[in-house]
Amino acid sequence: MTGSKDDLPADGLEALQTPCLVLDEGKLAANLAGMRAQVDRHGVTFRPHLKTAKSIDVALMAMTGPGGPATVSTLKEAEYFAERGVRDLTYAVGIAPHKLDRVGAIRRRFGADLAVILDSLGQAEAVSEWSRRTGDRLPVFIEVDPDGHRSGVKPGDADLLRGIGERIAAGASLRGVLLHAGESYGLSDPEALAEAAEGERAAAVQAAETLRGAGLPCPVVSVGSTPTARHARHLDGITEVRAGVYMFGDLVQAGIGSCAVDDIAVSVLATVIGHRPDKGWIITDAGWMAMSRDRGTAAQAVDQGYGLVCDRAGRPFEDLIVAQANQEHGVLALRKGSGARRPDLPIGTLVRILPNHACATAAQYDRYHVIGRDGRLEGEWPRINGW
């Protein structure tokens, strides 16, 4: 709130320009430890996905070692992390042939073991031809689709799997299969999530057995999403798990049941800049440019608008959400039907807003302002954006 310096909490947040991205280091560490324990229980390798973090400071906490393994979603991430010593990397987006020279440059310049993924005969031929021409036997995963969510070969399409595998092996190096159970993001029942995890596992094993039955190598069987990693009953036949948003959590993940609201480690610090008592509104300086346009909770049981509003210590106000968002204005209001009392937030009050989708919100910023385990602002961790 406004007032003298003596009235302010001793957290240091008043020194920040708003809106800005705040990261709670204690919650981050707890989230990392929880997922590590879950994966270790299954006895498989963990390859954290760094697409949300995009920060070497976060990556070094998340990875099992400073050289990886890790997953990335852009070649800019691959360059950034490889330059900082991360050598074992999987670029988990289907490879476009014109990007192969850039992949090769990262491998040569940094000595990185950077693998790519693909799901078509055309891509496989392009990668094999590139590998033969350059003498760099590029490691390749075949992407397999476990649930119709996005890309990938159907696990039962044995002819296509074998054909792709044979074309890869003709010039490049077939490393294995890679799956992402994206439909799990639409679930919330623990039993349904466990079934999604089992479907992902079974599809991965089926695809791997098809390749091995054709005399093709499949040393790595990789699965991963935060919900399925959290709810897998067992991972027989799987060699590694990937997950990313678990590091921070967000309101969508809380709605799924992959984390609690209190586990969410990232928030947007905003300032109250106005009021509309006639409409029941509180106005802040954090609109959709600060929060993103993501409305992922709209289809869930609890719609959190553009974000759930907390006090500067990160404690949620009852039923107070970002109900509307303009480019640079966030409109705070009680959710419809609430019997809660709208909090008194004078001009200048700092609030923290929990995001629907941590990846999309974090992408609006070039750094994290880190709150230490003592609740005080302790510094900045740079992060990157772009492709």
pLDDT tens column, 332-363: 999 999 999 999 999 999 999 999 999 999 99
357 closest CA partner among 283, 249, 275: 249
Which residue among 248, 278, 302 closes a domain?
Answer: 248
Residues 208 and 282 reside in one and the same domain: no
Name the DSSP letter for residue 313: T
Residue 91 to residue 209: CA distance in whole angstroms? 23
Residues 214 and 308 reside in one and the same domain: no
Q: Is residue 254 part of a domain?
A: no
Instruction: Indicate if the pLDDT at residue 94 is higher than 60.
Output: yes
Residues 50 and 137 reside in one and the same domain: yes
Count Cβ atoms within 10 A of the Cβ of residue 293 and give its class: 0-12 exposed, 13-18 middle, 19 or more buried: exposed
Region 361-377 average pLDDT: 97
Region 222-230 average pLDDT: 97
Count Cβ atoms within 10 A of the Cβ of residue 200 and give its class: 0-12 exposed, 13-18 middle, 19 or more buried: buried
H-helix segments, 334-375: 358-362
Residue 252 to residue 295: CA distance in whole angstroms? 9
Q: Is residue 387 part of a domain?
A: no
pLDDT tens column, 262-271: 999 999 999 9
Instruction: Indicate if the pLDDT at residue 178 is higher than 90.
Output: yes
Residue 131 to residue 125: CA distance in whole angstroms? 10
Region 16-32 average pLDDT: 98
Verify cis geometry, omega within 30 degrees of 0, for the bond prior to 97: no
Helices (H) then strands (E): counts for the chain: 11, 17
Per residue, the 3-state secondary structure of 348-365, as one string, reads CCEEEEECCCHHHHHCCC
Residue 171 to residue 137: CA distance in whole angstroms? 7
Phi/psi of residue 24, nearest 5 degrees:
-90, 105
How do beta strands 266-276 and 20-24 pair?
antiparallel
Check residue 31 and give its pLDDT: 98
Residue 199 to residue 6: CA distance in whole angstroms? 57
Helix (H), strand (E) at residue 56 = helix 56-62
Residues 209 and 279 reside in one and the same domain: no
Residues 227 and 290 reside in one and the same domain: no
The SS3 of residue 238 is coil
Residue that is written with structure tokens 């937030």 in the block? 345
Percent of the chain whose predicted confidence (pLDDT) is above 70: 98
Residues 213 and 301 reside in one and the same domain: no
Region 50-79 average pLDDT: 98
Percent of the chain whose predicted confidence (pLDDT) is above 90: 97
Which residue among 225, 248, 271 closes a domain?
Answer: 248
68 closest CA partner among 52, 93, 91: 91
Whether the Cβ atoms of residue 367 and residue 21 lie closer than 8 Å to each other: yes
Q: What six digits make up the tokens of 74? A: 């852009």
Residues 37 and 173 reside in one and the same domain: yes
Tally of domains in the chain: 2
pLDDT tens column, 145-159: 999 999 999 999 999
Residue that is written with structure tokens 């159907």 in the block? 154
Region 69-77 average pLDDT: 98
Helix (H), strand (E) at residue 177 = strand 173-179
CATH code assigned at 65 = 3.20.20.10
Instruction: Indicate if the pLDDT at residue 1 is higher than 50.
Output: no
Instruction: Indicate if the pLDDT at residue 171 is higher than 90.
Output: yes
Q: What six digits make up the tokens of 59? A: 């990556």
Chain-centre distance for alpha carbon 318: 27
Residues 210 and 149 reside in one and the same domain: yes
Q: Is residue 253 part of a domain?
A: no
Q: Is residue 365 part of a domain?
A: yes
Tell me the pLDDT of the chain averaged across its residues: 97
Q: CB neighbours of 364 closer than 8 A, spacing ≥ 6?
A: 21, 289, 290, 291, 292
Q: Is residue 10 part of a domain?
A: yes
C-alpha distances in angstroms, 368 versus 56, 86, 187, 290? 12, 21, 30, 13
Residues 266 and 346 reside in one and the same domain: yes
The SS3 of residue 118 is strand
Look up the domain containing 137 and give its range: 27-248
**Hey, which residues does 22 pair with through a beta bridge?**
267, 369
Residue 26 to residue 202: CA distance in whole angstroms? 36
Instruction: Indicate if the pLDDT at residue 5 is higher than 60.
Output: no
